[in-house]
A = this chain, B = another copy of it.
Amino acid sequence: MPYPDRVDEPPQGAAPGADEGPSGPASLSPANMADVARLAGVSIATVSRALRDVPGVGESTRRRVREVADQLSYVVSPEASSLSRRETGRVAVVMPRMDVWFYSMMLGGLERGLRAEGMDVLVYQVPGPAERGAFVRDLPARRKVDAVVLAALPLSPEQRDRLDLLGVPLVIAGGAARGLPHVDVDDRAMARLAVEHLLDAGHRDIAMVRTSDTDDTTWDADLLRVAGFRDALAARGVPERSDLLVTEPWAIDAGTKALDRLLALPQPPTAVFAYSDELATALTIGAWRLGLRVPDDLSVIGVDGHPTAAVMGLSTIDQQVELQAATAAEITVRLVRGVGGERSVRVPHVLVTRGSVGPPPAR
């Protein structure tokens, strides 16, 4: 009777007929440190030290423990380890949704960066105002993670304050927030750059197209890009025409609809600055389908660095989402580990010219 001290294990889970896996050695209830210790003829403490590579273990002992460990295909229980170390090794990433380009890029980059540092990523989708309220009220991530990354999640200052109750470092990715570590881009400057690019090409009747959310959420990036649009016009002394700032309710083809409205104007624009590449794309497709040529009849520029923009040949301001994500991951890791360094970083943007901007058509 080799293991007199283990007599529990009810059949647990699996229905009678269920497969138990062809792999023999995987006995129910995986091995624990005690098992390893016993087989290696050492104490639990030594096993713990040996497997964690902490100093203070004889080389031969360490080897032996290692061998026994993978012979039993033993792995440390993360739960028990966390309980004891008071760390989870996990980071929560919270975003409105993860099935649209910007967020999926951000999530992908964060996962890469965090996993490279040995952290697991727990994801939370918090789409609307109601869900945001619930998230902030219930703090479902509490005690589950060592840090929380908010990816472009619109929160009120009070909501942000309440997140202090999480008791772990908080990082904003893709946006700013007074006092909190964050990674962002200069939305205002990006917009200014885009519009300057159009002005440089000779345009004066420049429209800006954006979308509004179905709920009443306001996005800082939106306001800032409108401001940048105005900055650029003002700086060149081009009077702003209010009819050229059009806002469509969000929809996948909002750009197309915006174009229709612009073309119906008595004096249509010769160039369009779109809030996003998605908008620019839909707008351009709409233009093509109407028989308009880009940029001969209409110049278009967007913001994002969306891959479709490349296929479309759309000029854009690349906001380098991967870099934002990688940077946010790095900051998060540093905060968790308690090492110093920049707490907030502004990622540079890049004008990518692809041929969707040209001189205005001759009248």
Where the two chains meet, the residues of A that have a C-beta atom closer than 8 Å to any C-beta of B are 12-15, 19, 21-23, 26, 30, 73, 75-80, 82-83, 86, 88, 90, 97-101, 103-105, 107-109, 111-112, 115, 120-125, 139, 142-144, 161-162, 164-165, 167, 179, 252-253, 255-256, 281-282, 285, 288-289, 307-308, 310-313, 338, 340
Contacts and interface: CB of A to CB of B under 8 A. Distances in A.
Given A78-B144, A288-B288, 17 more contacts: A21-B161, A21-B165, A23-B161, A26-B164, A30-B143, A75-B142, A79-B83, A79-B88, A98-B98, A98-B104, A100-B104, A103-B104, A104-B104, A115-B124, A121-B123, A253-B310, A255-B311
A152 B90 CA distance: 24
Nearest to A27: B167
A311 B111 contact: no
A19 to B, nearest CB: 7
A78 B289 contact: no
Contacts of A86: 12
A125 B120 contact: no
Contacts of A162: 23
B143 A78 contact: yes
Contacts of A281: 308, 311
- Chain B CB within 10 Å — which of A26, A115, A122, A285 has the most? A285
Contacts of A100: 104
Contacts of A101: 99, 104
Q: So how many copies of this chain end up in the complex?
A: 2
A312 B164 CA distance: 45
Contacts of A97: 108
Given A88-B79, A98-B98, A123 B123 contact: yes
Contact of A338 (B14, B23, B112): B14
A139 B23 CA distance: 15
A157 to B, nearest CB: 11
A252 B310 contact: yes
A30 B98 contact: no
A156 to B, nearest CB: 15
13 contacts: A15-B340, A19-B179, A21-B167, A22-B161, A30-B143, A75-B143, A79-B88, A98-B104, A98-B107, A107-B123, A123-B123, A252-B310, A253-B310
A164 B285 contact: no
Contacts of A289: 313
A80 B85 CA distance: 12
Contacts of A120: 122, 144
A77 to B, nearest CB: 6
A73 B142 CA distance: 11
Contact of A125 (B12, B23, B108, B253): B108
A253 B97 CA distance: 27
Given A104-B98, A165-B73, A311 B253 contact: yes
